[in-house]
Amino acid sequence: MDTRFPFVDWFRNSSPYINAHRGRTFVILIEGEAMARGRGEQLIQDLALLHTLGVRLVVVFGIRPQVEQALNEAGIEPRRHDGRWVADEAIMACVERVAAEQRLWLEARLSLGLPNTPLHGVELTAVSGNLVMAKPLGVREGVDYDHSGEVRRVRVSAVQGLLDRGSLVLLPPLGFSSTGEVFDLDAAEVAQHAAMALAADKLILLGEAAGLYDENGALQRQLTPAEAEPLLSQIEPGCEQARHIAAACAAARHGVARTHLLSWQDHDALLGELFTRDGVGTMITRHRYEQLRPAELGDIAGLLELLEPLERRGMLVPRSRERLEHEIDDYLVIERDGMIIGCAALHCFDETQMGELACVAIHVDYRGGARGSLLLSGIERRARRLGLGALFVLTTHTAHWFVEHGFRPSDIDSLPTLRRDTYNHARKSKILVKPLS
């Protein structure tokens, strides 16, 4: 049914994610360019919304463009090596001043609560402090990095205590040593280590790029660290995207469930990634967000929901819950973030060493990709493991697809006896067979 308010449907569909995110810990990096380009206000509103929905937030903020501007105004030309500047005393003075100014600006905006503002009525306490311990980079390849450092550790108990009290934790790209020194840190590295130390549910990196793209310019929705890391050889070392890929992959390998690469230039990116099934950027996760796997009894409700529209249109023979429960071991499913979006079954006829490929279905919102081929490949692998020599399929609507995938038209005499006896002549299904040799 159409609605006068399209956002209502979106809000209804987002409810599973609202429930899933409540009480979870997110580490979010906002690069300094976002603030420099005027995107800070919108992002702060989104952060406040997440806070009101019960998300535990650790926000890391970058300051590179602001520091570069301050250095230019002071007539200071920094020395750079491998994407990092050598932070001498003059540069550190700018870094510390800019970090303090940026932190104060963020705290002020997070305190905004006037009646005509989106943060009206939101009680949000933002806290920062000496929460990241650091050590100097030292001398590398003959270059003394002076006050440029790297993360030694994050004070987990202190951060957890602040989150437990309902505070939003702000982490600048600065670290402190046991000798009382302050070090300039890479903001992406701070976010990575914070997410790893806190065992965060998500690490979200907001940079200039909308995500990672393949050689054809298509946005990659999901990658494993092994798939993403080779991209580092194709981009400039030390650039923002290189730092984000490295941080995301490291976090994914060390227990952070999901890491996300998003663009601060997209006003809807943060909420769109968190409250829609497909998201808007690139997610890097150690385990596949969308996976092909054997069906389980817990999938019955999802299978019924997937199959019902196709059964109603006459494309599939209706299957009862009892039948699905009885045959569940025959099914493979494609699961996407907890939703069953595809399935196929293999029913074996051992006396003829044939198998029936049945109930091939893809959710209407996820057609047009290679999921049907993925299901067919999975069924073929299972059939070969079972020693079957051929697959057959009965179809009324999609014979051409099966022909394109190696099936050939046949007749009722090619079917196993049991299947021949139960053939529904009223449906006039076309019979196709594919040898597996």
Give the mean pLDDT of 358-376.
85
pLDDT the model gives residue 288: 62
pLDDT confidence of residue 368: 67
pLDDT at 115: 52
Which of 70-79, 226-235, 426-435 has the highest average model confidence (pLDDT)? 426-435
To the question of pTM greater than 0.75 for the whole model, the response is no
Using a pLDDT cut of 70, give the percent of the chain over it. 93
Give the model confidence (pLDDT) of 3-25 as tens digits: 566 666 667 667 777 888 889 99
Question: CB count, 10 Å around CB of 415?
Answer: 21
Q: What is the pLDDT of residue 114?
A: 46
Compute the average pLDDT of residues 226-255: 86
pLDDT for position 3: 55
Cα–Cα–Cα angle for 108, 112, 116, nearest 5°? Answer: 150
More confident residue, 221 or 345: 345
**145-174, pLDDT tens digit by residue?**
788 888 999 999 999 999 999 999 999 999
Highest mean pLDDT among 96-105, 283-292, 333-342: 96-105
Band (pLDDT 50/70/90 cuts) for residue 71 is: confident
pLDDT higher than 50, residue 1: no
Q: Taking residues 211-215, report their average pLDDT.
A: 80
**What confidence tens digit (pLDDT) does each residue in 408-435 have?**
999 999 999 999 989 988 888 999 999 9
Higher model confidence: residue 116 or residue 45? 45
Please say if the pLDDT value at position 355 is more than 80: yes
Q: Is residue 342 predicted with pLDDT exceeding 80?
A: yes
**83 pLDDT exceeds 90?**
no
Residue 2 has pLDDT above 80, yes or no: no
More confident residue, 51 or 115: 51
Cβ 336 vs Cβ 374: under 8 Å: no
* Averaged pLDDT for residues 99-105: 92
pLDDT in tens, 271-325: 888 887 667 888 888 766 678 899 999 999 999 999 999 888 888 888 999 999 9
Residue 116 has pLDDT above 60, yes or no: no
- Sorting pLDDT into bands at 50, 70 and 90, what band is 118? low
Task: Give the number of C-alpha atoms closer than 13 A to the C-alpha of residue 247, restricted to the C-beta side.
Answer: 30
Please give the pLDDT value at position 222.
82
pLDDT above 80: residue 199: yes
- Tell me what pLDDT residue 158 has: 95
End-to-end CA distance of the chain: 50
- Three-state SS string across the chain, please? CCCCCHHHHHHHHHHHHHHHHCCCEEEEEECHHHHHCCCHHHHHHHHHHHHHCCCEEEEEECCHHHHHHHHHHCCCCCCEECCEECECHHHHHHHHHHHHHHHHHHHHHHCCCCCCCCCCCCCCCEECCCCEEEEECCEECCEECECEEEEEEECHHHHHHHHHCCCEEEECCEEECCCCCEEECCHHHHHHHHHHHHCCCEEEEEECCCCEECCCCCEECEECHHHHHHHHHHCCCCCHHHHHHHHHHHHHHCCCCEEEEEECCCCCHHHHHHHCCCCCCEEECCCCCEEEEECCHHHHHHHHHHHHHHHHCCCCCCCCHHHHHHHHHHEEEEEECCEEEEEEEEEEEHHHCEEEEEEEEECHHHCCCCHHHHHHHHHHHHHHHCCCCEEEEEECCCHHHHHHCCCEECCHHHCCHHHHHCCCCCCCCEEEEEECC
Higher pLDDT, residue 431 or 86: 431
**pLDDT, tens digit, 9 for 90 and up, residues 379-388:** 999 999 999 9
Q: What is the pLDDT of residue 122?
A: 67
